Amino acid sequence: MAITKNDFINALNNPTYIRQPICRISILDWDENVITTITDDIISCDITLNLQSNSRRNATLTLKNNDLRYLPKYRNLIWLQNKIKIETGLQIGNDKWYETRGIFVISEVRTISKFSDLYAELTLVDKYETLTGTIGGILGADYIIPVGSNIESAVRTLFITEANEVKMPIISGVTGTTPYTITHTSEEPISAILEELANILSFNVYFDKFGNPRFESPTNQLTHYSIWDFDTNSINYLGSTHYFKFSELKNTCIVISDNVGGSLYRSVVSDVNPFSSTRVSLIGDRRFEIKDNLIYSQPLNDQRCIYELQKKIILQEEVTMECINNELINEGDIITILDSNNGLIRDRYYVQSVNFSAFDKSNQSISAWKTRAIV
């Protein structure tokens, strides 16, 4: 019988279950076809996920290299043209369950020879680095997107034609055209153009864990479902630290755009939620201002104002917590935490980063910011 996600969840929640974490590595060609799959030679695999970067994931991988099959060399398994897919999970009985954790490009390889012990240590970075100039992605000539160009088409062209991305980009919720002519010179990275287009709409641009390029609006933290509920009675929850960053708290945002077309847009948004502990009527007005002359409409200016205030509001209350490795939790997910000893009463938190070792029973570290409605 095939293992399901529910089987995995039940195994994590069963206090009598003996966990056996597993890891599987697939070496891919540049078009992301599987060349070979590895399980036996993996010594360690550490992964970091980070929502605060366009390049969201990186990893370090150590492989046993006694037969020299991982010696970096043209036409060998490890070389510039190849990518790495990492999957982690649990063995349940005689069956195994895996979850994809990312597709990576190889940044650096170290081979180690200690008499009969031979190793290959790989530093792996997000596919986004193929756009930044770190591993490709530099423009070969000046690049111009004329004013009035369809933004979705411009993004698609950048990924497919300029970056030669092998997977079709996932673009959602994009409307409108470029409000001005976008010009980037040769020797600049493709990522600079994509990020400029994303900033116009207050969008995110990144690669997901399956290696798909994405251009989309941020997660709605208030309506998105919780991927996992932690509490002190659960064997998965291993404690937390609760931070209150009072000095960083802002509850009013002002966004001003003296637009390139000659229009002036001004938006003011305040935390006025009567149930909010940071509302203006309770703690006074703590404001900050942003000037962005690239915004070209009042609705976009309003959207940016709400977006920036939401980031400031959730930043001021953070939890770092430890739990048993959980493959279902990724950057950008929502979790809830019940720990009355730490002032956490089934509060919803927006996951900012995840750190874990995939091939052993060490704990997973999560950093998350508290979600809060501002109106």
Q: What is the pLDDT of residue 223?
A: 85
Q: What is the pLDDT of residue 261?
A: 66
- Where exactly are the structural domains of the chain? 5-127, 143-216, 221-245+316-375, 254-307
- Alpha-carbon span 252 to 13, nearest angstrom: 42
Coil, helix or strand for 155?
A: helix
- Alpha-carbon span 305 to 303, nearest angstrom: 5
CB within 8 A of 170, min separation 6: which ones? 208, 212, 213, 214, 215, 216
Q: What is the pLDDT of residue 200?
A: 86
| Fold category of 143-216 in CATH | Phage tail protein beta-alpha-beta fold (3.55.50)
Q: What is the pLDDT of residue 228?
A: 94
- CATH code for the domain defined by 221-245+316-375: 2.40.30.150
In CATH terms, are 5-127 and 143-216 the same topology?
no
Q: What is the pLDDT of residue 2?
A: 62
Q: Does pTM top 0.85 for this prediction?
A: yes
Got the DSSP string for 341-367? GGTEEEEEEEEEEEEEETTSSPEEEEE
CATH classification (class only), 5-127: mainly beta
- Alpha-carbon span 47 to 295, nearest angstrom: 36
The candidate with the shortest Cα–Cα distance to 332, out of 350, 314, 315, 316, is 350
Q: What is the pLDDT of residue 363?
A: 85
Angle 144-148-150 from CA coordinates, rounded to 5°:
85
Each of the 375 residues of the chain gets a pLDDT tens digit; together they read 567 778 788 877 777 777 788 999 999 999 999 999 999 999 999 999 999 999 999 999 999 999 999 999 988 899 999 999 999 988 887 888 899 999 999 999 999 998 888 999 999 999 999 999 999 999 989 999 999 999 999 999 999 999 999 999 999 988 889 988 999 999 899 999 999 999 888 899 999 999 999 999 988 888 889 999 999 998 889 999 999 888 888 999 999 987 766 778 999 999 999 988 889 999 999 999 999 887 888 888 898 898 889 888 887 889 999 998 899 999 999 999 999 999 998 989 999 999 999 876 668 999 999 888 777
Got the DSSP string for 94-107? TEEEEEEEEEEEEE
